[in-house]
Amino acid sequence: MDEDFLLAIRLQEQFDQEYRRPLSIVDESWEMLDPSPDIRAMFLEFNDMFFWGKLSGVEVKWSSRMTLCAGVCSYEGQGGLCSIRLSEPLLKLRPRKDLVETLLHEMIHALLFVTQNNRDRDGHGPEFCKHMNRINKASGTKITIYHSFHDEVDMYRQHWWRCNGPCQKRKPYFGYVKRAMNRAPSSLDPWWEDHQRTCGGTYTKIKEPEGYGKKGQKNSKTSEKKAAGSVIIIVITSLHFQKEEFHWLGPLKVKMDFMWSTV
């Protein structure tokens, strides 16, 4: 048997072994095999694989409104409801691997809550790190303490204000406040008092999403129409007429055939 044939056999055996070996949960092949995974199915698989089935009572869902962080684990009510929410706006722009690692990160928080009643959401102490390192070693993931995707977060911050005071020359923000929602800087912000004391300037809005103002006007007109419709309903249900006649109420012609009565 010649050497080339023996080499071919060894290569084939090596290939067969690698083919039978299950893919790592963060293998690049998953990007093509399952680019848009079912997060509930993924959660259940990871629960059995890494968390001994202890998270069966935890819910997991997408959030279309979270734009500042990739994931959050919240604890609600005295019954101990635990919920994991994943940011659809941020994670849909990232590789599948980031979704996997973000989900596992929040599942560790859920595990600490379920097993130890640990409600310290921002705590990444020894217990958290122990499970993080355990899962990273077993699966090849690179779960970290934080998972903030700065470029994606900035993309959703389309409402900008800038101060006209001295803070516009100070690092790191140079007087800018950028937000995903249209909420101007005010006394509701925890840093406002310090800003008033050290700067005292006034914030002016300098940028907003294209067409945002027109959208607001459209919504306002729609609300007015709805309000007008409500008034018409009140008038109709409050009056009764003796004979059939037509009445013009704004743009609507209403036919009424009722009897007069005191309301």
Which residues are part of the catalytic machinery? 106
Alpha helices in the chain (DSSP H): 3-20, 30-33, 39-50, 88-91, 96-116, 126-139, 150-156, 192-198, 212-238
Inter-CA distances, 46 with 39, 111, 138, 180, 227, Å: 10, 12, 12, 32, 50
Hunting for tokens 């934080």 — which residue is that? 146
- Give the integer Cα–Cα distance in Å for 30 and 26: 7
Confirm if 173 and 203 have CB atoms less than 8 A apart.
Answer: no
**SS3 at position 243:** coil
Inter-CA distances, 245 with 116, 166, 240, 255, 257, Å: 73, 69, 11, 6, 7
